A = this chain, B = another copy of it.
Amino acid sequence: MKILGKSQIGYEISDSFSSGKENSFKTFDPILNCENSFEIYESSDNDINLAVQKAKKSFSEFSSINGKIRAGFLLKIAEKLDLNRLFLKEIYCLESALPDNRAEIELNRTIHQLNEFANLISQENWNFCSEQKVDFGRKHNPKPHLQKYLQALGTVVVFGASNFPFAYSTIGGDSASALAAGCPVIVKSHPMHAGTGDLVAQLVLEAAIETNMPDGIFSNLNSNGIELGQKLILHKDIKAVGFTGSFMGGMSIYRLAQNREEPIPVFAEMGSVNPIFIFESVLETNGLVSQLVNSIQLNAGQFCTNPGLIILVETPKSVAFVEDLKVLLGRQDSQAMLHPNIFKKYSENAGKIENLESVLQLVKTKDLKANFSYPKLSFCSSKTFLESEHLQEEVFGAHSLIVSCKNELEFLKISEYLKGQLTASIFSNEEDLVRNSDFLKQINQKVGRLIWNGIPTGVEVCESMTHGGPFPATTDSRFTAVGKDAIFRFLRPITYQNFSTKILNLLIS
Contacts of A451 in B (CB 8 A): 497-498
Contacts of A479 in B (CB 8 A): 493
Q: Are the CB atoms of B437 and A506 closer together than 8 Å?
A: yes
Name A467's closest neighbour in chain B (CB-CB).
B495
Q: Are the CB atoms of B471 and A262 closer together than 8 Å?
A: yes
Question: In the complex the two chains form, what is the Cα distance from A444 to B149 in whole Å?
Answer: 11
Given A60-B438, A154-B445, A452-B496, 13 more A-B residue pairs with CB atoms under 8 Å apart are A64-B441, A129-B463, A132-B463, A143-B460, A263-B475, A265-B478, A430-B500, A433-B503, A433-B506, A449-B496, A454-B498, A466-B495, A477-B492
Confirm or deny: A146 has a beta carbon within 8 angstroms of a beta carbon on chain B: yes
Confirm or deny: A94 has a beta carbon within 8 angstroms of a beta carbon on chain B: no
Quick one: given A131-B464, A454-B144, are A494 and B449 in contact (CB under 8 Å)? Answer: yes
CB distance from A454 to the nearest CB of B (A): 5
Selected A-B contacts with CB under 8 Å, 20 pairs: A129-B464, A132-B460, A132-B465, A146-B462, A146-B465, A148-B465, A151-B444, A258-B259, A264-B471, A265-B476, A430-B503, A434-B502, A434-B503, A444-B507, A447-B494, A448-B493, A449-B496, A452-B500, A478-B492, A480-B493
Q: From B130, B434, B442, B475, give the contact of A463 (CB < 8 A).
A: B130
- As a 0/1 sequence over residues 336 to 357 of chain A, the CB contacts with chain B under 8 angstroms (1 = contact) are 0000000000000000000000
Contacts of A126 in B (CB 8 A): none
Question: In the complex the two chains form, what is the Cα distance from A464 to B132 in whole Å?
Answer: 6
Confirm or deny: A488 has a beta carbon within 8 angstroms of a beta carbon on chain B: yes
Confirm or deny: A147 has a beta carbon within 8 angstroms of a beta carbon on chain B: yes
CB distance from A395 to the nearest CB of B (A): 21
Contacts of A497 in B (CB 8 A): 449-452, 454
Contacts of A258 in B (CB 8 A): 254-255, 258-259, 263
Q: Are the CB atoms of A255 and B265 closer together than 8 Å?
A: no
**Interfacial residues, chain A to chain B (CB-CB below 8 A):** 59-60, 64, 129-132, 141, 143-144, 146-148, 151, 153-154, 254-255, 258-259, 262-265, 430, 433-434, 437-438, 440-442, 444-445, 447-454, 458, 460, 462-466, 468, 470-472, 475-480, 485, 488-489, 491-500, 502-503, 506-507
CB distance from A504 to the nearest CB of B (A): 9
Contacts of A503 in B (CB 8 A): 430, 433-434, 440, 452
Contacts of A255 in B (CB 8 A): 258-259
Question: In the complex the two chains form, what is the Cα distance from A466 to B146 in whole Å?
Answer: 9
Q: Are the CB atoms of B440 and A466 closer together than 8 Å?
A: no
Question: In the complex the two chains form, what is the Cα distance from A83 to B444 in whole Å?
Answer: 39
CB distance from A265 to the nearest CB of B (A): 7
Which of A131, A460, A464 is packed against the most chain B CB atoms within 10 Å? A464
Contacts of A458 in B (CB 8 A): 141
Q: Are the CB atoms of B440 and A507 closer together than 8 Å?
A: yes
Q: Are the CB atoms of A147 and B464 closer together than 8 Å?
A: yes
Q: Are the CB atoms of A430 and B146 closer together than 8 Å?
A: no
Contacts of A146 in B (CB 8 A): 460, 462, 464-465
Contacts of A129 in B (CB 8 A): 463-464, 485
- Nearest 10 pairs between A and B by C-beta? A146-B464, A258-B258, A466-B495, A477-B492, A451-B497, A132-B464, A449-B495, A148-B464, A130-B464, A466-B493
Contacts of A447 in B (CB 8 A): 494
Quick one: given A151-B444, A263-B258, are A496 and B132 in contact (CB under 8 Å)? Answer: no
CB distance from A413 to the nearest CB of B (A): 15
Question: In the complex the two chains form, what is the Cα distance from A471 to B464 in whole Å?
Answer: 31
Quick one: given A448-B494, A485-B493, are A502 and B430 in contact (CB under 8 Å)? Answer: yes
